[in-house]
Amino acid sequence: MRLHAEFVAHLDRHRDRAAVALRTLAGGLADNQVMQWSPKLRAPLGAVPLLLDAPDHRVLTEVGRVVGDLLPRLPRMLFGDLDGAMDAFGVPADMRPFIRAEVPREIPVARTDYLLGDEGWRLLEVNNGASVGGLLVGDYDRHVRAEPFLAEFLDAHRAGNVAPVDVLVAEVLAHCADLPVEERPRVAIVDWAGYLDDFPLEYPQLAARYRAGGLDPVVCAQTELRYAHGRLWHGGLPVHAVHRDFVIEDLTEDAESAHPVLAAAENGDVVLVSGFRHEWLAHKGSFAMLHEAAGRGLLTAAERDVVDRYVPQTWMLTGGGPEPWRFAGLGGADPLPLAPERLIVKPCVGSLGAGVVIGALRAAEEFRNAVREAATATPSVLQRLVAPVPVPFPWLRPAGAGEDVDIDVAQIQPGLFTVAGRPSGWWCRLLPDSTPAVANALHGAARGSTWCEAPR
């Protein structure tokens, strides 16, 4: 974190100029509703980008590549085939055709998140799918670049970022090249019926990026699409690409309503961002699978090194698979492999921190009860908690009649985007203290950007 420390020291030395720059930046971000999805819940934004040294950038990118390459191989490696893996994780029957589907025109999108902890960088989670947060981080970066005091330092230190959504839009346009397109390809930004009103700010911004990139966007629910005559239709117009913002958990509500999207994608009649299997492979149980594969000697030496060093130890609590997949000993005097304060429980499939229980924030017996409950509920994991190590970070906070720069601390969670397997920019989540927590807006986390130092 050398470069970030230099950046913070620079802001501290020039507090008056820094305060003006950060106030101007914050005002521009607020006026343009950058990285906001709804006026009902304003997500706080980082006052400045996090800066990542070139060596850390290189290592974390390689960790993401190795893990991303391993995830699709794990079901066959450990269970013989995909159905065996779905059996082990209790996947509902109506969800399985979606996960089985081969999608010839798929553009995988992923975000691999890291946390700086007491043992160094650790992989926090992998999120696969078009619905991952932060795709529009390029809007934040454009405002940073427009602020001269910040841009001067960032340019002098050869730090920068890539806009993930711009990479994605170009990829979608290229994948539409050999589809029957009359004028401009049409992309449907599809969320689950009933959720469209929850994102009145984000969807117009995403649609604007697709429009600027040469596609005609439409925002709709899955129930508005039909598949006929080898094409996916919205109203009387053909759809050439689907930016799938609904998630696989939604399928348990009414899987049949998503079959037009599935059929069109499976038959290669639309470009799909991202596939259903790709999303499912990144469930929280994937970390348990990685360690199981490493323990069975199924990985190369380089792959095992990545898993051992960067993937927190994870145990399955439920799933019904072979005995190594179940965390045994829940009835013993101390059924946990580590002290409760070093553990966390997570459901395998879920979002926004639902069902997550952090041992450090619960009484010991309360946490043990949560473990027992998770072991009899939906498939869940028990995981070694990454204890966060905050770094100095500037916040813009009230001071007198205005706002001033406050050099405090933040937990840092940089996330690397990949589009079609290629690194495609970073974002960051920030928590303004050292307490372990689920880092989302509901828990006071700020979102922002990560700029990486160019290789020397």
Host domain of residue 329: 313-384
Cα–Cα distance, 449 to 49 (Å, whole number) = 5
What does each C-alpha distance from 449 to 155, 220, 373, 412, 427 come to in angstroms? 16, 29, 37, 11, 4
Residue with the two structure tokens 């971000």: 29
Cα–Cα distance, 410 to 429 (Å, whole number) = 9
In this structure, what CATH number is given to the domain that contains residue 343?
3.30.1490
Give CA 79 to chain center in angstroms. Answer: 26
3-state helix, strand, coil in the chain (%, to 5): 40, 25, 35
Mean pLDDT of 294-306: 96
Q: What is the pLDDT of residue 211?
A: 98
Q: What is the pLDDT of residue 378?
A: 75
Strand locations in 216-359 (E): 216-221, 225-228, 231-234, 237-239, 241-244, 271-273, 314-316, 343-347, 357-358
Residue 246 has pLDDT above 70, yes or no: yes
Which range, of 11-25, 150-164, 344-358, averages the lowest pLDDT?
344-358
Q: How far apart are the first and last CA of the chain?
A: 15
Residue 427 has pLDDT above 70, yes or no: yes
* Nearest Cα to Cα of residue 325 among 351, 355, 290, 371: 290
| CA-CA-CA-CA dihedral for 94, 96, 102, 103, to nearest 10 | 50
Residue 334, SS3 per DSSP: coil
Mean pLDDT of 41-61: 95
Cα–Cα distance, 146 to 148 (Å, whole number) = 6
Residue 227 has pLDDT above 70, yes or no: yes
Residue 82, SS3 per DSSP: helix
Q: What is the pLDDT of residue 429?
A: 95
Cα–Cα distance, 279 to 347 (Å, whole number) = 15
* Cβ count near 68 (within 10 Å): 20
Query: How many structural domains does the chain have?
Result: 1
Residue 99 has pLDDT above 50, yes or no: yes
194 burial type by CB count under 10 A (0-12 exposed, 13-18 middle, 19+ buried): exposed
Q: Give a yes or no: residue 198 inside a domain.
A: no
Q: What is the pLDDT of residue 195?
A: 87
Which sign does the torsion angle of CA 340, 343, 348, 351 carry?
positive
Mean pLDDT of 171-197: 94
- % of the chain with per-residue pLDDT over 70: 94
Mean pLDDT, the chain, as a whole number?
Answer: 91
* Nearest Cα to Cα of residue 383 among 394, 391, 371: 371
Give the pLDDT band of residue 178 (cuts 50, 70, 90): very high
Mean pLDDT of 112-117: 96
Mean pLDDT of 5-29: 96
Q: Give a yes or no: residue 368 inside a domain.
A: yes
Cα–Cα distance, 258 to 363 (Å, whole number) = 43
Q: Give a yes or no: residue 211 inside a domain.
A: no
Residue 434: asked if its preceding bond is cis (omega within 30°), the reply is: no
Residue 258, SS3 per DSSP: helix
* Nearest Cα to Cα of residue 278 among 419, 174, 416: 419
Q: Give a yes or no: residue 345 inside a domain.
A: yes
Give the pLDDT band of residue 373 (cuts 50, 70, 90): confident
* Cβ count near 254 (within 10 Å): 14
Mean pLDDT of 163-180: 97
Residue 323 has pLDDT above 50, yes or no: no
pTM greater than the 0.95 cutoff? no
Residue 318 has pLDDT above 80, yes or no: no
Q: Give the tokens for residue 351.
A: 């979002």
Q: Yes or no: say if 452 and 161 are a contact pair by the CB < 8 Å rule.
A: yes
* Nearest Cα to Cα of residue 131 among 113, 115, 109, 147: 109
376 burial type by CB count under 10 A (0-12 exposed, 13-18 middle, 19+ buried): exposed
Q: Give a yes or no: residue 302 inside a domain.
A: no
Q: Give a yes or no: residue 416 inside a domain.
A: no
Q: Give a yes or no: residue 336 inside a domain.
A: yes
Q: Give a yes or no: residue 369 inside a domain.
A: yes
Cα–Cα distance, 310 to 118 (Å, whole number) = 12
Residue 456 has pLDDT above 80, yes or no: no
Mean pLDDT of 349-377: 83
Q: Give the tokens for residue 104.
A: 């010839």
Cα–Cα distance, 268 to 246 (Å, whole number) = 20
Q: What is the pLDDT of residue 335?
A: 63
What pairing do the DSSP bridges indicate for beta strands 241-244 and 271-273? parallel
State the angle between helix axes of 202-212 and 164-175 in degrees (0 to 180), rounded to the nearest 10. 50
